[in-house]
Amino acid sequence: LNVKSFYMGGGTPTTLTADQMDRLLSKLEQNFDFGNLAELTIEAGRPDTIDEEKLRVLRAHNTTRVSINPQTMEDNVLAAIGRRHTADDIRRAMEQVRAAGFPHVNMDLIAGLPEDRVELVVGDICDADLLDRIVPGHDAIVHYAAESHNDNSIADPEPFLRTNVEGTFRLLEAVRKYGIRYHHVSTDEVYGDLALDDPAKFTEHTPYHPSSPYSSTKAASDMLVRAWTRTYGIHATISNCSNNYGPFQHVEKFIPRQITNILDGQRPKLYGKGLNVRDWIHTEDHSSGVWTILTKGRVGETYLIGADGERNNITVLRMILKMMGQAEDAFDWVKDRPGHDRRYAIDSTRLRTELGWTPRHTDFESGLAQTIEWYTENRAWWEPAKAATEERYKRQGQ
Ligand code: DAU
């Protein structure tokens, strides 16, 4: 077998050592019959994107591409390549990955929380057996576990269907079985978008009209929650929140992407004409909204969470540039997102008047300054994900 090349990201050959390459090949050869395959291209990707059927078709063309995730290139994970992953495979692999200190299973996220009250379980949301083990005995489940990034959903919608739709279904079945209070964290994007010059805002009565693979799977999950509430009488509430910002946000999102680009000496990237409007809310206010609904909300109801933070993207980017000592035009215009929603705006009257919630971070400028400070001081948290994220964007022309 002649291994032609090993690609990571958009075509840059990696510096895999000979030993790593040998290990990789021997694992692959244990799992596949490569027959008279003449050449093999291995590229970065999700570890479960290959199966025998795909290989059979590719083999017929005398070449194949194998996708692996370079971040999880440990022996144990490689062993799982080549078969369809079972939930057990994923759980074992994740546990070992976590034990090996890999950054995307980030223990820092729970550091400082009371140890006797917090247990981190790394697992697959679609794993019904795992849910059967960990769900009973809890007071409530707050379901934040979604695939959440629009651009990722446009490049590859399948994980969104699985995590957001099937994952919600599994959780709903678990809360139904064990009689547990459930709160469903959703998004304002289920309502579609508003025109830039429209004074209207989304309310709990706005019809669903999602635009992207991501928002359509979130809309589908909301519908499941409503159906399970009405048909099976589960005790559920739903919240639909606007765009979050603050610490610990993945560098794929707009605000952290631009801040970390500047910190990395790269230019920020703006889609389209930069006129799309997002309604920004600090992540702590989102959390306090969820807590308020969980503890005081009426079962069966939906509440919108928003902090009146409408701004267009170019305004936000210029604020970041200025705060970070850059010229206001020191950014690149890049390809627009297909189907790009124009504007989101939340009317959170119900949450404020019925449940008495108010946001604490009402000064966007100071919230943004604190966010910039956090990313400046916490490079170790975001750096491991940065290169791969930018490589993905580059491939998409963004
Ligand atoms: O509205 C709530 C939603 O907000 C959440 O449900 C989603 O999970 C969350 O990702 C966010 O969705 P957006 O698509 O609005 O967020 P994003 O950070 O991807 O983009 C914000 C705006 O900035 C959007 O108009 C696209 C634009 N953008 C984004 C990136 C990453 C750029 O101009 N340049 C960029 O590099």
CA distance 171 to 314: 39
Tell me, using a 6 A CB cutoff, whether residue 342 lines ligand 1: no
**Ligand 1 contact via 89 beta carbon (within 6 Å):** no
Q: Would you say the CB of residue 188 lies under 6 angstroms from ligand 1?
A: yes
Find the angle CA(327)-CA(333)-CA(334) to the nearest 5 degrees. 145
Using an 8 Å Cβ cutoff, are 48 and 23 in contact? no
**Ligand 1: centre distance to CA 234 (Å):** 32
- Please tell me whether the overall predicted TM-score, pTM, comes out greater than 0.85 for this model: no
The model's pLDDT over 227-251, given as tens digits with 9 standing for 90+, comes to 999 999 999 999 999 999 999 899 9
Question: Quick one: average pLDDT of 332-339?
Answer: 97
Q: Are 302 and 238 in contact (CB under 8 A)?
A: yes
* Cβ neighbours around 327 below 10 Å, total: 8
Ligand 1 center to 261 CA (angstroms): 16
Closest C-alpha residue for ligand 1 atom 30: 254
Q: How far is the CA of 76 from the centre of ligand 1 (A)?
A: 35
Q: What is the pLDDT of residues 26-78, one digit of tens each?
A: 655 665 555 544 445 444 333 334 445 544 544 444 434 444 444 444 333 33
288 and 357 Cβ atoms separated by less than 8 Å: yes
Q: Decide whether any atom of ligand 1 lies within 6 Å of the 164 Cβ.
A: no
Collect all residues with Cβ–Cβ distance below 8 Å to 71 and sequence separation of at least 6.
102, 103, 104, 384, 388
Mutate to test the pocket of ligand 1, among 143, 253, 341, 389 (most ligand atoms within 8 A of CB): 253
Q: Of residues 272 and 17, which shows the higher confidence score?
A: 272
What are the catalytic residues?
A: 188-189, 214
Q: How far is the CA of 254 from the centre of ligand 1 (A)?
A: 5
Do the Cβ atoms of 175 and 182 come closer than 8 Å?
yes
Q: pLDDT grade, residue 92 (50/70/90)? A: low
Q: What is the mean pLDDT of the chain?
A: 81
Q: Does residue 153's CB lie within 6 angstroms of at least one atom of ligand 1? A: no
